Structure 1
Amino acid sequence: MRIPKYGRILASLVCLTALAVCFFVPGIGRDAAAEQKTLTMGTSPDYPPYENVDAAGSGDIVGLDVDIANYIADKLGYKLVIAPSDFDGLIAALQTKRVDFVMSGMSVTDERKKSVDFSDTYYQARNTIVSLNDSPYENLEELKGKRVGVQLGSTQETVANGLPDVQVTKLNKIPDLIQALKANRIDAIILEDAVAAGYVGANADLKFAMVPASGDDEGYAIAFPKGSPLVPEFNTVLNQMKQDGTLQTMIDKWFGTQTSTDQGGKGGLNFAKLRDYAGYLFRGVYVTLLFTLVSAAFGFVWGAILSLFKISGIAPLRWFSTVYTSVFRGTPLLLQLLLFYYAIPQLFHYNIPALLAAGLAFGLNSAAYLSETIRGGILAVDKGQREASLALGIPYRTMMVSIIMPQAIKNILPALVNECVALVKESSLVSVIGVADLLRRANVVQANTFLAFEPLIVVAAIYYALVLVLTSLARLLERRMRRSD
């Protein structure tokens, strides 16, 4: 019987998991003094011209807010670090001290003032109503009884909630709202003027109408944690920028380039605009595969340990593994991801990197499911082999690693492949905390091209190809293991 050679699989997976820490924790080995003069800015880079990823070029986050932040940081003697996130998670990032300040086209409101401090305003935007050419809306009164879309956590949400007899749809991203409008799931969108101009310029079937300015709108400002000493320093530089014309120069730079002449036909698809973004999208394959591989390896190793706990004769180990499995299988994976990402900095004062938080959440969750699968595979191995091994004086650990576990792995290989396939697809959840996987990159391209649908089709095809390759490799491995019997 040649099965013992597969015992080396466990050692290889352990090494792979350990090496992944170097990738997931980029701060290891850095000189702490080199990071003393950095400022971390939180932003949602899907809101051009304020902030978006230059996906067709450098891949950096660019925009009006980024230029202002870089200028202020340079004047104050800091190096700027940008931490991307969904818009509705920015306030939480401030409160948990993940970021030092937030610039993301964020309006000053009384409700937000209860949670954060604001700088002086740097831009006064106006709201618009975006609708289809066939069913235009010119003012807020015409929206009575209609379905209105807004970005979750935005000031436009407050405006929509104040309208009488309106059904409000709240989504995380602007491209999702545009797609919902085109699919007739909503009748109109309340959107900020510069962003609306970009989408209308790129979509011939859309139009927008300006909403009269409200006296309650205090404009866009920089948000800080409560009591931050940075507020007066930033205000000093902002006032200097207003006085010497630097701020107006930046505004003129970004607000004169948002209307596209490359419009798609009504109801059609326009994949031609994605040519310049192909490289950016395919670089997401590396992040997705690496994250999946490391999470699967960590989940397998920890799941194998848990499975041994479950068949152990030591009661506390059995109780621990049972409770662990119950907790991780009984709560949503997305919730676990958000808890790792936001709770660890607040509870343990460690600013955990996004990719490390995702790797832990997915690995620990996968281990809960794999522990039951591996336990079933171990129990499926003939009891006579265990009895023979013990009779020959083979130590229990050697027996499990070199004899029982390899046979169990071969028995459960299809289930392990299914778990890997599930991890590939579920990895898209990491986009909500700013990890630049395939889905996050599709969102970036949506924001840059003002196309709501086409980037998603391309990424769906990539995911499908990855799953096909993974299942094909698994079938080859399974046939080879059968021939080794």
Structure 2
Amino acid sequence: MKSRNKWITVLLSVLLSFIIGSNFDFSQVEAKSNSGELKVAMEANYQPYNWTQTTNANGAVPIEGSNEYANGYDVKIAKIIGKQLHRKVVVVKTEWDGLLPALTSGKADLIIAGMSPTAERAKAINFSNAYRNSTFVVITKINSKYANAKTLNDFKGAKLTAQQGTSHYALIKQLKGAKRQPAMRDFAAMRQSLISGTIDGYVAEDTESTSFKMVDPDIKAIPISEMAGFKVSKEDSTTAIGIAKPNKQLLKEVNHVLGTIPNSQRTKLMTTAIKQQPKTDDKKKGKNGKSEPWLVSMWKQYGGMILNGIGMTLLLALVGTIAGFFIGLFVGIIRTIPTPTSQGKKWLLKIVNWLLAVYIEIFRGTPMMVQAAVIYYGIAQFWHINIDRTIAALVIVSINTGAYLAEIIRGGIISTPEGQFEAASALGMTHNQRMWHIILPQAIKNCLPSITNEFIVNIKDTSVLSIISVSELFFVGTTVASQTFKFFPTYLTISAIYLLLTFTTTRIFNLIEKHLQGSKNYNLMANQVQVGATKDTEANK
């Protein structure tokens, strides 16, 4: 028993040290502005403003926490600013919904992501002078019945959408009779929806249509900005750089740099970005001169990125499930402790049980995506503690899994027949001895299918951690789809990988469960008869 307790103590200590102690950066958020890096938040998934690539070709800059690079018009503007401020540009790749939290929490110094300085956003952050002016279009198919629209009324009945969290979505109201569809997460989703026919078009800036047409000639842009009656504010038609409100000095420096970039140079930068954006590889030839299958060419170009995504997904799921198991085991044991006779211990146990119940309800009752945003950005914003995103992801998955497994293990403990508790007590065993030697081995074995299911759920649910820019499998898959414009094949491939991971995991745990169950041919009565017969034979001799 002592050796077992010692082994568990050591293992818990190692896990606790790994989760809490390693790679934490307890620097003040404000200190980041004095570093030699200029951290710029962007989607790296919005061509030609910004995109992701696997090499540093054409002056691409590194993406924080990965082996990937970012390029595009926004990156080129950021490099000019970084050069004049004598700071190295590093991109913080973040989904659109995570841009503002990344800036206000100190994870990034600037937002350069084709963002309009709307009045609503200006309440949370400051904006620089405009670095680009835009006009608006409706992007539709060239053979659509709305492709020849001349007035705002010609879009009557059209199913239109725009990017979520942007001013573009509100502009659809000016297209009389158009049917507004739910806003979509990003341009990759809108392009796929247009190609598949689930929408008739979407509202975007003119640069998006130019970029899209380079890879799909079957689309058409209708310039609604030129139509009579169309109105858009100056803020909504310009693009500016977001800066945290306390950082007034950086705002002043950025405006100064932007003032040195003439309009002719900005136009040239955008033209260059459009030419350099990732192209589809439909015409890529193999050694035999024939076109390579898309899957082969994709793995050649993005295989390393996908493998890294698989590795990150497995790391989060494995460590999160193991750590969550020990958290759940600890909580489950505490919540099944018999009521003490001492009044003081009785109240202490009640308080601890109440706190553990609150923990379980919070983490089982809220989405993991929300937990990730609150923990990763909230801790930095309110306590000025910067946590490495991978460590934050491991902590989030672990405590979330622990909340679920706590109830599973508690159920396994209390489902053990009461007679076993009584028999162990009759043998003089203490509560700890009963738990470690009699109850827990059975409870854990009975809970193994549920633990397996939780591991499989973690493999899939790590996709929500893209909100804090963790480059797991789904996040990588979205990037590949947006670069290749092969949405259905890419997501089908990612689905196949997930299926392979979960299927393999299930088979492995089935073997473990089978091993723990022992031989199915074991027959207690037959063995007793055999033993009795053997004794009778020996007695007759």
Tell me if TM exceeds 0.5: yes
TM-score, with structure 1 as normaliser: 0.87
More moved, 131-140 vs 465-474 = 131-140
The C-alpha deviation readout for 1:127-171, integer Å capped at 9, x for no partner, is 222112331434461223321121112232232244333332201
Query: How far has the Cα of 1:248 moved from its partner?
Result: 5.0
Query: How far has the Cα of 1:77 moved from its partner?
Result: 2.5
Q: Give matches, 1:329-478, under 5 Å.
A: 329-383=364-418, 386=421, 396-397=431-432, 400-401=435-436, 403-478=438-513
Is the 1:53–1:59 Cα contact (8 Å) retained in structure 2? yes
> 2: CA distance between counterparts of 1:81 and 1:93?
14
More moved, 252-261 vs 331-340 = 252-261
Q: 1:165 to 1:278 in 2, by over 3 A?
A: same
The answer as to 2:256 corresponding to 1:221 is: no
The C-alpha deviation readout for 1:239-260, integer Å capped at 9, x for no partner, is 22338x7645533421233484
Which has the bigger relative contact order, CA under 8 A and spacing at least 6? 1
Query: How far has the Cα of 1:316 moved from its partner?
Result: 1.7
The C-alpha deviation readout for 1:47-83, integer Å capped at 9, x for no partner, is 0222111047762122221222133123213233322
> 2: CA distance between counterparts of 1:137 and 1:34?
49
The answer as to 2:204 corresponding to 1:191 is: yes
Q: 1:6 to 1:468 in 2, by over 3 A?
A: farther
Query: How far has the Cα of 1:103 moved from its partner?
Result: 0.4
The answer as to 2:137 corresponding to 1:125 is: no
Is the 1:292–1:423 Cα contact (8 Å) retained in structure 2? yes
Q: 1:466 to 1:261 in 2, by over 3 A?
A: closer
Q: Which of 253, 256, 259 is equivalent to 1:236? A: 256
Is the 2:25–2:386 Cα contact (8 Å) retained in structure 1? no
Q: 1:406 to 1:225 in 2, by over 3 A?
A: same
Q: 1:261 to 1:301 in 2, by over 3 A?
A: closer
Is the 1:307–1:375 Cα contact (8 Å) retained in structure 2? yes
Match of 1:159 in 2: 171
Given residue 281 of structure 1, which amino acid in structure 2 is its aligned partner? I
Q: Give matches, 1:91-106, under 5 Å.
A: 91-106=100-115
Query: How far has the Cα of 1:417 moved from its partner?
Result: 0.3
The answer as to 2:130 corresponding to 1:137 is: no
Query: How far has the Cα of 1:215 moved from its partner?
Result: 6.8
Q: 1:110 to 1:317 in 2, by over 3 A?
A: closer
TM-score, with structure 2 as normaliser: 0.78
> 1: CA distance between counterparts of 2:303 and 2:462?
20
Q: 1:437 to 1:12 in 2, by over 3 A?
A: same
Is the 2:26–2:386 Cα contact (8 Å) retained in structure 1? no
> 2: CA distance between counterparts of 1:406 and 1:259?
55
Q: Which of 268, 271, 274 is equivalent to 2:298? A: 274
The C-alpha deviation readout for 1:210-231, integer Å capped at 9, x for no partner, is 3436673542221112242211
Structure 1 residue runs of 5 or longer lacking an equivalent are none
Q: 1:416 to 1:215 in 2, by over 3 A?
A: closer
Match of 2:327 in 1: 302
Other structure's SS at 1:186 match:
coil
Is the 2:97–2:467 Cα contact (8 Å) retained in structure 1? no
Query: How far has the Cα of 1:409 moved from its partner?
Result: 1.3
The C-alpha deviation readout for 1:433-457, integer Å capped at 9, x for no partner, is 2110011001111221123322111
Match of 2:289 in 1: none
Other structure's SS at 1:153 match:
coil
Is the 2:72–2:277 Cα contact (8 Å) retained in structure 1? no
> 2: CA distance between counterparts of 1:273 and 1:127?
35
Query: How far has the Cα of 1:187 moved from its partner?
Result: 1.2
> 1: CA distance between counterparts of 2:31 and 2:125?
28
The answer as to 2:130 corresponding to 1:84 is: no
Match of 2:43 in 1: 44
More moved, 81-90 vs 154-163 = 154-163
Task: State how many pairs are aligned.
Answer: 476
The answer as to 2:165 corresponding to 1:149 is: no
Q: Give matches, 1:162-173, under 5 Å.
A: 162-168=174-180, 169-173=182-186
Structure 2 residue runs of 5 or longer lacking an equivalent are 57-66, 227-231, 284-292, 340-348, 523-541
The answer as to 2:190 corresponding to 1:177 is: yes
Query: How far has the Cα of 1:124 moved from its partner?
Result: 2.3
Work out which of the two has the higher radius of gyration on C-alpha atoms and give 1 or 2: 2
Q: 1:35 to 1:397 in 2, by over 3 A?
A: farther
> 2: CA distance between counterparts of 1:258 and 1:93?
25
> 1: CA distance between counterparts of 2:469 and 2:333?
36
Other structure's SS at 1:42 match:
strand
